[in-house]
Every structure is written in C-alpha cells, then in structure tokens.
Amino acid sequence: MHVLLAYASLSGNTREVARIVTARLRMHGHVVRCVEVDGAHAADIGQPRDALLLGCWTDNAGRTPAEMKQFVATLHDGPGMPPAARVAVFGTGETQWGQEYYCGAAHRLARFFGSPHPVLEIEQMPHGDADTRTIHHWADHVSAAIEALRHADPARHHAG
C-alpha cells in the first residue's frame, strides 16, 4: 500500500522514529513517502494514499507544535481528511513534563483524526533493541490493520 508519513521534529528524536518506521514498512513492501512537515510539503500532499502516519514531538504542556497544526490545516482545506481508520499516530516526548502531558501532541492528533490505532510513545531519542522492537511492533500492527481494511473495502479505497 501507499503510505504518507508526515512528521514534525525539532531536535531529531521524532525524525529517528520516522526513519525506523519507514524502513520497517518498506521492508514489508509498502511504498512510503516520508516527509518532514513544513510549508513546502504541506502544499504537495494531494497524492492518493492508503494510510496517513503522523509523527510529532510535543510542545509546552502537551501541545501540538505549530508546524504540525499548519500541516493538518492544509490537509483539511486541501486534499481533505482521510478516513479515521487509515490514520495512525506516533510521538516522542519526555515524562519529566508530567505524565498527563507526556506525548500530548500525539494523543491530541489521534483524537482529532479519530484514529482507532494505538498511539506509539517513545521517550526522547529511540535507543536500544527494546525501542526498536516497540517501533517495529507498532508499524507491523498498524500496517496490518490498515491493509486488512483496504482488502475488506476496496470500493472505498478507490473512491478515496
């Protein structure tokens, strides 16, 4: 399937998770377009896609950073919002900001899109085998779930 992975990253943590997710999905044979969100890319997202994966760092008190808000607004006003079941979200954050705010942007995005998939949370830069396994497991799970949906409802896929 064709996947658009759009991520926002200030200092590289979320970029690294995006890189691992992208590599994993490509290993499974999916076509992945991985873009860091900014004004230039936001205008260029009208391509057909089977899945939208969003990756985001979290700003002050659980907030979504401005560049991701802008991307979502452009998607909303342009190509339109994909069906909720085709959207999955991951994020990086730090628990030192408080558990209620941890990876808050990722959770806000998942709620906004109505994503039924689990939100992947990684603390800061992913490191070690455990984080890699967690990321692979998440990527495998969401791609299988979205792929199953695609096969179950091909008419909707072609319409969308």
Ligand X SMILES: Cc1cc2nc3c(=O)[nH]c(=O)nc-3n(C[C@H](O)[C@H](O)[C@H](O)COP(=O)(O)O)c2cc1C
| Binding-site ranges for ligand X (CB under 6 A) | 9-15, 57-62, 92-94, 97, 101-104, 124
- 17 neighbors 135 (Cβ within 8 angstroms): yes
- 56 neighbors 6 (Cβ within 8 angstroms): no
Residue 60 C-beta: closest distance to ligand X, Å: 4
Length of the chain: 160
Query: What b-and-e string marks burial along 89-100, b requiring 16 or more CB atoms within 10 Å of the CB?
Result: bbbbbeeebeee
Residue 100 C-beta: closest distance to ligand X, Å: 9
Choice between 15 and 86, CB closer to ligand X: 15
Residue 91 C-beta: closest distance to ligand X, Å: 8
Choice between 49 and 108, CB closer to ligand X: 108
In the DSSP assignment, the letter for residue 126 is -
| Separation of CA 49 from chain center | 13
Q: Nearest-CB residue to ligand X?
A: 93
Choice between 50 and 59, CB closer to ligand X: 59
| Separation of CA 81 from chain center | 14
Choice between 68 and 85, CB closer to ligand X: 68
Residue 118 C-beta: closest distance to ligand X, Å: 17
